[in-house]
């Protein structure tokens, strides 16, 4: 069952039309936007000689859910950074957005508490940063941050300890 796309002018610049399916039409009337390396859709906008870039989910939120309330962020319900449908994006607080990201697995954290304990033990036993980075799918810099405490500073005890 397909649903008709609802089109509205973007409140910041009504020359751009925004569809409830997350599509943004540029000044030419054609869809605009490109996927960034991090998965978000970037919308290039022009006002005379001034060019700006706005994230697509922000454009859709402003158009279908009103201006950004103070202290709120645009967030994706399903965790898919490229799914900018009006029904999938909303304004939420930073703590709620962070909780959503943890729930979706999109918070960028690749290591578990047990991984960090194992990495620190392996480093103490003489393992190399490069070897550990390859084993855990992170960069050698991440291993260094774990080693010196820049990340995982307050490490909880392992299960059963």
Residue 67 domain-assigned (yes or no): yes
- Of residues 89 and 150, more confidence is placed in 89
Task: Point out the least confidently predicted range of 57-71, 96-110, 115-129.
Answer: 96-110
The burial class, CB within 10 Å (0-12 / 13-18 / 19+), for 94 is exposed
Residue 54 domain-assigned (yes or no): yes
pTM: 0.67
3-state secondary structure of 106: coil
Do 16 and 79 lie in one domain? The reply is yes
Do 124 and 92 lie in one domain? The reply is no
What's the whole-number mean pLDDT along residues 115-123?
A: 90
Residue 68 domain-assigned (yes or no): yes
Do 90 and 118 lie in one domain? The reply is no
Residue 73's domain comprises 7-104
Question: pLDDT value at position 107?
Answer: 65
Q: Say how far apart CA 34 and CA 151 lie, in whole Å.
A: 32
Of 119, 94, 117, nearest to 107 (Cα)?
Answer: 94
Residue 158 domain-assigned (yes or no): no
């Amino acid at each position: 069952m397909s649903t008709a796309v609802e089109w509205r002018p973007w409140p910041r610049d009504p020359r751009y039309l925004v569809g409830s399916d997350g599509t943004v039409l540029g000044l030419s009337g054609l869809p605009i936007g490109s996927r960034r390396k991090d998965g978000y859709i970037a919308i290039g906008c022009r006002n005379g000689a001034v060019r700006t870039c706005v994230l697509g989910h922000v454009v859709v939120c402003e158009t279908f859910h009103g201006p950004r309330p103070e202290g709120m962020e645009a967030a994706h319900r399903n965790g898919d950074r490229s799914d900018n449908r009006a029904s999938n994006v909303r304004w939420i607080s930073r703590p709620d957005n962070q909780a959503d990201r943890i729930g979706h697995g999109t918070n960028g954290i690749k290591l578990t508490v047990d991984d960090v304990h194992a990495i620190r033990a392996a480093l103490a036993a003489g393992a190399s940063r490069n070897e550990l980075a390859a084993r855990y799918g992170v960069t050698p810099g991440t291993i260094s941050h774990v080693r010196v405490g820049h990340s995982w500073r307050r490490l909880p005890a392992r299960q059963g300890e």
